[in-house]
Chain A
């Protein structure tokens, strides 16, 4: 006689159904509309739209700048999280709240503020300009904007893990003769790695799609500082809905593959540490 096995936690069927429905409505529905729209396109036309030299140049700008911004935040986000968790100092709560500000600020405001600061006549730009450093209206400006926008991701993913990390582990390692670097490398970093990767992935994905802030500081010069979302907008300006959708699909596919790879990495690193996900 077959006995139905029940999970200890009740309501699995209901919660799975709810999860699938919610994901379908919120995420899959609009995305599948995108895919369906593209199926109206001839393959040759699709290929032409997504491989135009100008569009290819914009991929380089968007993915390159996003990669740099996410990497910067990987390093400095970790540092920030470390300081916020490990050291008590006056005004800590204030600093902690500041981290989330880039989330709350409308991105256009961020873009305009950064452009104002770093323009050749801006309060920072005027000091950089004589040194030959141009930030606003160059690809460097795009990196600045994206770094600002994606700052909270790494901090907020690493912070809770760091909080749970027992200092006893580090003390034990130290008492066994490990140097500070060894403690960081062998004890702290492996524990933080999954959270770091998640933060990196989120920051990267967010940066790829960013339009509002970048558009004000990029200068938007063809082949130099045009981002892919701008290519989509300029297709729409010509009422070329299909061309715009084609480029959007490419961005979506690339982002999805990258997130998949990073998730895979995370799974691998967790497994290597002998922990189950």
Chain B
């Protein structure tokens, strides 16, 4: 009897993988955050083990931001979610109710530990002389942008261009609309996500300009070398917040709330901010920002609040029948 029980215990221990005292967190994140969290997780685990005397393992899941949010809604047991758009976390609040409302107030900076912005990536030597957003609407310039219907990256580009046109002297919504419409008329391929757009631009050699996140530009440099392209900072761009949240229902069920909250809070620590900056994500911490100032040219930024927040922007511009659909329909007819 005792032997059988001990056998059972051994089998159980083997099945569970590690000792029972361990804490495991699942971080459900979007595609291009892979590299950042690969660097951040060990740094945090070391800190956590030293402070709480508890071994911590962080598992990662990556995919398109909204797809990941849908998985959480459908029951993927994420302890924390780290997305590229607050609408994705809001969707979990509304549809799945796994996150309590008011999540953006529970952490500093609207729960966004770092940010990025849309930059213009051009071919070596900038043969088309691209300097700013208005160069993207010129005839004969091809612009590669991921599909705003399926990609947060594409939505940020759309809004950045809209905001630029709005801020020009005499700018208004009608002018902004025709500006964005002209830009998308120059788009030869609409990839479903940011990484696919990068492939189209770098590997298929299609287009004169790729519009994407600043930190993606660094990925391109690591992947393809720094010789093949140049980064152009436009006169004004959009501040891409990258929000994070604890999944309340899951952490309360699993009893991992403390670890999950620490995991997110530590993103704001000097160490976490340093890892972010090394991955070309703009840090919030002033000291770290000063240290990496050379890496992050100052660009005038506006936020999605310019459009009344993500919910309103999504509704007005990107939902079915919204302004983006109307622009696409009109462009297809010409």
Contact = CB atoms under 8 A, between A and B. Distances in A.
Interface of A: 49, 52-54, 112, 115-116, 119-122, 136-137, 215-216, 219-224, 230, 233-240, 243
Nearest to A234: B149
Given A234-B147, A234-B150, A239-B70, A220 B191 contact: yes
B192 A233 contact: yes
B188 A243 contact: no
B203 interface: yes
B37 to A, nearest CB: 23
B303 to A, nearest CB: 22
Interface of B: 64, 66-67, 70, 91, 95, 147, 149-150, 188-192, 196, 199, 203-206, 314, 318-321, 325, 328-329, 331-333
Contacts of B331: 222
Contact of A239 (B91, B189, B191): B91
Given A54-B325, A116-B204, A243 B320 contact: yes
A220 B189 contact: yes
Find the residue from A52, A122, A136, A238 having the highest chain B CB count within 10 A: A238
A51 to B, nearest CB: 12
B91 to A, nearest CB: 5
A220 B190 contact: yes
A120 B328 CA distance: 24
B325 to A, nearest CB: 7
A121 B95 CA distance: 44
Contacts of B149: 234, 237-238
Contacts of B320: 49, 52, 235, 238, 240, 243
12 contacts: A52-B320, A54-B325, A121-B206, A216-B196, A219-B190, A220-B189, A221-B190, A222-B328, A223-B332, A230-B192, A234-B150, A239-B70
Contact of B204 (A122, A237, A243): A122
A237 B196 CA distance: 17
Given A230-B192, A233-B192, A234-B149, A115 B204 contact: yes
Contact of A238 (B196, B319, B329): B319
A17 to B, nearest CB: 32
B206 A137 contact: yes
A235 B190 CA distance: 16
Find the residue from B70, B190, B321, B325 having the highest chain A CB count within 10 A: B190
Given A238-B318, A243-B320, A119 B205 contact: yes
B147 A220 contact: yes
Given A112-B199, A120-B206, A240-B320, 14 more contacts: A52-B320, A54-B328, A136-B204, A137-B188, A216-B196, A222-B329, A224-B332, A235-B320, A237-B64, A237-B67, A237-B150, A238-B318, A239-B70, A239-B91
Contacts of B329: 53-54, 222-223
A136 B196 CA distance: 14
Contacts of B205: 119-121
A121 B147 contact: no
A54 B333 CA distance: 12
Nearest to B94: A239
Contacts of B204: 115-116, 119-122, 136
Nearest to A121: B205
